[in-house]
Amino acid sequence: DTEVTQTPKHLVMGMTNKKSLKCEQHMGHRAMYWYKQKAKKPPELMFVYSYEKLSINESVPSRFSPECPNSSLLNLHLHALQPEDSALYLCASSHLSGGTGELFFGEGSRLTVL
Amino acid sequence: KNEVEQSPQNLTAQEGEFITINCSYSVGISALHWLQQHPGGGIVSLFMLSSGKKKHGRLIATINIQEKHSSLHITASHPRDSAVYICAVRDSGAQKLVFGQGTRLTINP
């Protein structure tokens, strides 16, 4: 199994809603990532988890709250988002965060904030 | 100046043509990745390189560490190769990838 599975594929939410994005991998990878991608731009790193601990937070606003309940799962909790947060949110994993391991990306969750 | 620069930004070619996409970087790296993204889709990792050359099917990736340059070649291009190709480098000792702006490739039948 070389897949990173993200759910939901599409999400529409209002600015007062609370929702979550989920990411799952069963490759035994110990590094997991959240990226945000706006149209026609490269992905921007948001968070890195290494061995289930948050190792990088790229100064992401607190309305985005990551969680890594176990080595296979990564969540991104969303609350009080703004329309400019509408984007494709990509999850990725790799064997080790600081090494040269290959990255595996999910298909992404396309978020629209109304 | 961006740490990772790709050229060209856009490329349109006819089916069957040989395609080359270039990537230059300015930092010391531990690895370089070539990624593919179809419109509206997720990202697929094509290659991870730290030296030399790799081949997978019709795709070939090369890297010259001394010149800080990598190329992605597609032989016998096909319309299904139409996608954005992204070069990304892993800064030595860092956990982060630095991405190029991408090359939008269109292969016409």
Distance between CA atoms of residues B38 and B63, nearest Å: 24
Say if residue A78's pLDDT is above 90: yes
Share of chain A above pLDDT 70, in %: 95
Say if residue A31's pLDDT is above 70: yes
Q: Which residue, chain included where needed, has tokens 């982060």?
A: B96
Chain A residues in contact with chain B using a Cβ-Cβ cutoff of 8 Å: 6, 31, 40-43, 45, 48, 50, 55-56, 90, 92, 97-108, 110
Chain B: closest CA distance from residue A19 (Å): 21
Say if residue B41's pLDDT is above 90: no
- List of chain A residues whose C-beta atoms are within 8 Å of the C-beta of residue B50: 100
- Phi and psi torsions of B80, nearest 5°: -70, -10
Nearest C-alpha in A relative to B37:
A107
Q: Does B98 touch chain A (CB under 8 A)?
A: no
Q: Where does the pLDDT of residue A95 fall: very low under 50, low under 70, confident under 90, or very high at 90 and above? A: confident
Distance between CA atoms of residues B76 and B88, nearest Å: 24
Q: Does B45 touch chain A (CB under 8 A)?
A: yes
Q: What's residue A23's pLDDT?
A: 98
Residue B43, beta-bridge partner list: B37
Please state, rounded to an integer, the average pLDDT across all residues of chain B: 93
Least confident range of A87-91, A97-101, B13-17: A97-101
Q: Does B95 touch chain A (CB under 8 A)?
A: yes
Q: State the burial class of residue A79 (Cβ atoms within 10 Å of its Cβ: 0-12, 13-18, 19+).
A: middle
Distance between CA atoms of residues A59 and A90, nearest Å: 17
Kindly determine whether residue A103 and residue B31, on different chains, have CB atoms separated by under 8 Å. Answer: no
Kindly determine whether residue B42 and residue A106, on different chains, have CB atoms separated by under 8 Å. Answer: yes
Q: Does B33 touch chain A (CB under 8 A)?
A: yes
